[in-house]
């Protein structure tokens, strides 16, 4: 076990460590810090002490176990034999991180009849692809995939595992991290390596009001999920060589039986769209959304929305942009009757042009917009539709 003690002669009762402890486990009594039984031995406090008054020892066995973990893994999510772009985006980021750790990037590809995708993963930056092509992996099942990944991670010991924050990734990653009793940071917006060679996982916290930097110093692998469009994929290089390792395992059974797949996609996905016309509460009614749809159709784009519009049942959740919806990166984003709350803006990544239509000239959306139209959406949209259709 690790151990922590306050060196009484050195402690001056400055309380810096009290503010740093994430568990409220340090109290200052009579100008001396005391560690309470809420301490989880995370070690967050000892570095903050300017007086070297905190003696923290990691378990030797623990540290040597950690050093056995090497390499970065990216879970290669595929559906019907097509790779999800988020996996390719993660490979690009993993490649950057791997140069800071002087290690290699491996991608893990599970499924059936998917072997040919391994070359695409090499082209997008993987040094090695571990392929498990089995008929019992044909359909995604978080328990079966989770057990398969857990077994592979226990065997190969990667130090970092990255998973796309898709609906599948969001159920798979926690399954793995809880099985392996390691940490997982969901929906990261940034990944970096610190001076101690730990993965620094940045994500919004407290409703997007601050950015938290999270590390996982005592457990392996360090795990993170990242939403689509947060990172850019590398330019693919199909000449790139790498290792493809085929792995065979006995079938793993699960409690859940898949009866049939239902395709509930409603047209071009928000993540892939180049033009998005997005509606906010300011559109006033479900009926008025037709105007935005007409504009989207005229431009060859798709509809998006803010959260209240989804909460009111005017649009399906699959169309929600923002912190609790999708991250989008179209070339053009037209925000109609959207105020520009921080949680909505959290879903706008790397957009070339934002056009905002809002009747309030002080609406925060105008601070991020490249072009702003102050006016009633119900009047502006028909004018835009007429102009655009007139040009076609
Ligand atoms: C934890 C958390 C997560 C969240 N996640 C998300 C998320 O993922 N996505 C998201 O969008 N929100 C999210 N929210 C909600 C967010 O805080 C805002 O409440 C929401 O984005 C506001 O949506 P809106 O701009 O459509 O509505 P409002 O804030 O009500 O703004 C409506 C705008 O329309 C304008 N307007 C009104 N009438 C007209 C008209 N006739 N013509 C033109 N303009 C008009 C108004 O001036 C106003 O600016 C989240 C909140 C929390 C706490």
For residue 280, the ligand 1 atom closest to its alpha carbon is: 26
**CATH class held by domain 3-57:** alpha beta
Does the C-beta of 376 come closer than 6 Å to ligand 1? Answer: yes
Q: What is the model's pLDDT at position 392?
A: 62
Across the range 216-225, mean pLDDT stands at 94
Give the pLDDT confidence score for residue 266 in this predicted structure: 63
> What separation in Å is there between the alpha carbon of 308 and the centre of ligand 1?
6
Tell the residue number behind the tokens 């047209």, with chain if given.
267
Cβ(6) – ligand 1 distance below 6 Å: no
Q: Which CATH architecture has domain 66-246?
A: 3-Layer(aba) Sandwich (3.40)
The three state secondary structure string of the chain is CCEEEECCCCCCCCCHHHHHCCCCCEEEECCEEEECCCCCCCCCCHHHCCCCCEEEECCHHHHHHHHCCCCEEEEECEECCEECHHHHHHHHHHHHHHHHHCCCEEEEEEECCCCCHHHHHHHCCCCEEEEEECHHHCCCCHHHHHHHHHHHHHHHCCCEEEEECCHHHHHHHHHHHHHHCCCEEEEECEEEECCCCCEEEEEEECCCCEEEEECCCCCCCEEEEECCCCCCCCCCCCCCCCEEEECCCCCCCCCCCCCCCCCCCCCCCHHHCCEEEEECHHHCCCCCHHHHHHHHHHHCCEEEECHHHHHCCCCCHHHEECCCCECECCCEEEEECCCCCHHHHCCECCCCEEEEEECCCCCCHHHHCCEEEECCHHHHHHHHHHHHHHHC
Q: What pLDDT, on a 0 to 100 scale, did the predictor assign at position 129?
A: 98
Q: Check residues 245 and 79 and name the one with the higher pLDDT.
A: 245
**pLDDT at residue 172, as a whole number:** 97
Average pLDDT over residues 371-382: 97
Per-residue model confidence (pLDDT) at position 218: 86
User: How sure is the predictor about 264, in pLDDT bands with cuts at 50, 70 and 90?
Assistant: low
User: What whole-number distance in Å separates Cα of residue 165 and Cα of residue 186?
Assistant: 7
What pLDDT band is residue 1 in, cutting at 50, 70 and 90? low
Confidence at 342, pLDDT banded by 50, 70, 90: very high
The residue to mutate among 165, 206, 335, 358, having the most atoms of ligand 1 within 8 angstroms of its beta carbon, is 358
Q: Write down the CATH superfamily of domain 270-391.
A: TPP-binding domain (3.40.50.1220)
Ligand 1 contact via 204 beta carbon (within 6 Å) = no
Mean pLDDT of 306-313: 97
Pairing of strands 199-205, 190-193: antiparallel
* 270 Cα: distance to centroid of ligand 1 (angstroms): 18
Region(s) of the chain under CATH 3.30.70.20: 3-57
| pLDDT 10s digits, 14-64 | 999 999 998 999 999 999 999 999 998 888 898 889 999 999 987 654 555
Cβ–ligand 1 distance for 208 under 6 Å, the answer no
**pLDDT interval class at 349 (50, 70, 90):** confident
Contact 363, 348 (CB under 8 A): no
Ligand 1, atom nearest to 309 Cα: 26
Confidence of residue 261 (pLDDT cuts 50, 70, 90): confident
Calpha distance 40→52 (Å, rounded): 20
Which segment, 126-140, 209-223, 314-328, is predicted with the most confidence on average? Answer: 126-140
The pLDDT of residue 140 is 92
Is a pLDDT exceeding 70 seen at residue 362? yes
- Taking residue 318's Cβ as centre, other Cβ atoms within 10 Å add up to 17
pLDDT tens-digit series, residues 170-186: 999 999 999 999 999 99
Is the minimum distance from the CB of 98 to ligand 1 under 6 angstroms? no
The mean of the pLDDT values for the chain is: 92
Residue nearest to atom 7 of ligand 1 (CA): 322
Does residue 212 register a pLDDT over 90? yes
C-alpha 204 to ligand 1 mean position (Å): 18
Q: Which atom of ligand 1 is nearest to the CA of 207?
A: 1
Residue with the smallest CA separation from ligand 1 atom 49 is: 339
Check residues 365 and 43 and name the one with the higher pLDDT.
365
Percent of the chain with pLDDT over 70: 96
pLDDT of residue 255: 85
8 Å CB contact between 289 and 170 = no
Quick: pLDDT tens for 87-140.
999 999 999 999 999 999 999 999 999 999 999 999 999 999 999 999 999 999
**Chain region(s) in the chain for CATH 3.40.50.1220:** 270-391
Taking the CA atoms of residue 59, residue 62, residue 68 and residue 74 in that order, the dihedral angle to the nearest 10 degrees is -130
**For residue 257, pLDDT beyond 90:** no
Pick the closest to residue 187 from 151, 130, 152, 225 (CA basis): 225
């Amino acid at each position: 076990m690790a151990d922590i003690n306050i060196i009484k002669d050195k402690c001056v009762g400055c309380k810096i460590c009290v503010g740093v402890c994430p568990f409220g486990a340090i109290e200052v009594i009579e100008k001396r810090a005391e560690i309470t039984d809420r301490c989880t031995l995370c070690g967050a406090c000892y570095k903050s002490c300017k007086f070297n008054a905190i003696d923290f020892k990691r378990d030797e066995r623990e540290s040597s176990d950690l050093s056995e973990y090497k390499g970065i893994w990216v879970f290669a999510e595929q559906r019907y034999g097509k790779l999800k772009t988020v996996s390719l985006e993660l490979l690009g980021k993993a490649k950057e991180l791997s140069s800071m750790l002087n290690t290699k990037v491996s991608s893990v590809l599970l499924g059936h009849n998917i072997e040919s995708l391994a070359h695409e993963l090499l082209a997008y930056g993987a040094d090695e692809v571990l392929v498990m092509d089995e008929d019992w992996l044909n359909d995604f099942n978080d328990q079966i995939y989770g057990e398969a990944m857990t077994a592979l991670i226990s065997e190969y010991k990667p130090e970092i595992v990255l998973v796309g924050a898709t609906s599948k990734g969001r159920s798979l990653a926690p399954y793995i991290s809880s099985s392996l009793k390691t940490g997982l940071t969901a929906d990261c917006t940034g990944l970096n390596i610190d001076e101690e060679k730990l993965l620094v996982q940045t994500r919004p916290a407290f409703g997007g009001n601050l950015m938290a930097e999270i590390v996982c110093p005592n457990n392996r692998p360090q795990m993170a999920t990242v939403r689509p469009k947060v990172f850019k994929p590398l330019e693919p290089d199909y000449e790139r060589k790498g290792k493809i390792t085929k792995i065979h395992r006995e079938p793993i059974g699960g409690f859940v039986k898949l009866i049939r797949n239902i395709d509930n996609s409603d047209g071009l996905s928000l993540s892939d769209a180049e033009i998005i016309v997005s509606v906010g509460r300011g559109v006033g009614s479900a009926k008025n959304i037709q105007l935005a749809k007409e504009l989207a159709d005229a431009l060859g784009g798709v509809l998006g929305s803010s959260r209240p519009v989804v909460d009111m049942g005017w649009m399906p959740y699959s169309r929600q942009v923002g912190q609790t919806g999708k991250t989008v990166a179209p070339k053009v984003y037209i925000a109609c009757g959207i105020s520009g709350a921080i949680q909505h803006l959290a879903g706008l990544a790397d957009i070339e042009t934002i056009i905002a239509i809002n009747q309030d000239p002080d609406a925060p959306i105008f601070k991020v917009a490249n072009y702003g139209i102050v006016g009633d959406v119900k009047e502006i949209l028909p004018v835009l539709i007429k102009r655009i259709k007139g040009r076609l």
